[in-house]
Amino acid sequence: MSTLAILIRLALTALLLALAACGGSKESPLPAGSKVLALGDSLTAPHGVRPGEDWPTLLGQRTGWVVINGGVSGDTSAGALERLPALLEEHQPKLVLVTLGGNDMLRKLPPGQTVANLGRIVDLARATGAKVVLLATPKPSLAGAVFNSLSPPDFYADLARDKKLPLIEEAIPKVLSDTALKGDQIHPNAAGHARLGELIHAELKKIGFAG
């Protein structure tokens, strides 16, 4: 075999290995009627919008899932952790979407405490057999608010890696960086919730949960 042929074979082998590593295995789609719990704070609850305009409701309409809005305005990761066991027992969801941490950051709670609470939320949900997806919330930033360029803190990506769970990192920061999609400085308006529903659905399709 010529040197050129050997090099081509090695290059093709490396490419196939790289594609396999990047692709990974997708999750199985959740059928219509599956119960999904959206656990969060005012970014999940219909804060400032009418019932039915919140992104969990809109996500349910897109997917056919029964999406339970478990958002409570002002809630912290600790508060949601306390609420979670009852929600899991009542609804027995197949998937839990975790959108928390914003109020922890606003109250300047230690990031380690937030990460510990989020990790416990993941563990509790998984113990019931539910799948979990983490959604990142942007960190409070005066410069980010002024220049409409918000970004999440690193601990979301770190937690997703440590727990080996999917992370939707850009959806919420992208919406909250657009003044046309906000009702105030930190909450989406009806158009923002609609956009969130679109973005989250698109990411869940990539992950494999949504068809």
**Residue 184: active-site member:** yes
Does residue 22 belong to any structural domain of this protein? no
Residue 42 annotated among the catalytic residues of the structure: yes
141 noted as active-site residue: no
CATH of the domain at 62: 3.40.50.1110
Mean pLDDT (whole number) for 118-142: 94
Closest C-alpha among 211, 128, 168, 162 to residue 43: 168
pLDDT score recorded for residue 211:
83
Please indicate, yes or no, if residue 3 is contained in any of the structural domains. no
- 140 pLDDT tier (thresholds 50, 70, 90): confident
The beta strand positions in the chain, using DSSP E, are: 35-40, 66-71, 95-99, 131-135, 167-168
Q: Which residue has the tokens 């075999």?
A: 1
pLDDT higher at 17 or 30: 30
Q: Which of 2, 25, 28, 184 is catalytic?
A: 184
Single-letter residue type at 105: M
The pLDDT of residue 40 is above 60:
yes
Q: State yes or no: pLDDT of 35 exceeds 80.
A: yes
Task: Residue 64: give the domain boundaries.
Answer: 31-207
155: in domain: yes
Q: Which of 54, 75, 77, 187 is catalytic?
A: 187
Q: Please state the domain count of the chain.
A: 1
The pLDDT value recorded for residue 147 is 55
Query: How far is residue 112's CA from residue 126's CA, in Å, rounded to a whole number?
Result: 21
pLDDT exceeding 70 applies to what percent of the chain?
85
pTM of the prediction?
0.85
In a domain, residue 20? The reply is no
**Per-residue pLDDT, 149:** 77
Report yes or no on 71 lying in a domain.
Answer: yes
Q: Quick one: pLDDT at residue 38? A: 98
Between 5 and 157, the more confident residue is 157
| pLDDT the model gives residue 141 | 72
**4 within a domain of the structure (yes/no):** no
**Is 161 a member of any domain?**
yes
Whether 103 contacts 59, CB under 8 Å: no
Q: Taking 90 as the threshold, does the pLDDT of residue 55 lie above it?
A: yes
Query: In the predicted model, what is the mean pLDDT of the chain?
Result: 89
Give the pLDDT of residue 9. 57
Q: Which of 41, 42, 104, 193 is catalytic?
A: 42
Q: Span 177-194, mean pLDDT?
A: 94
Segment 153-163 shows an average pLDDT of 98
In the numeric block, which tokens belong to residue 94?
């197949």
Residue 138 lies in a domain: yes
Q: How confident is the model at residue 80 (pLDDT cuts 50, 70, 90)?
A: very high
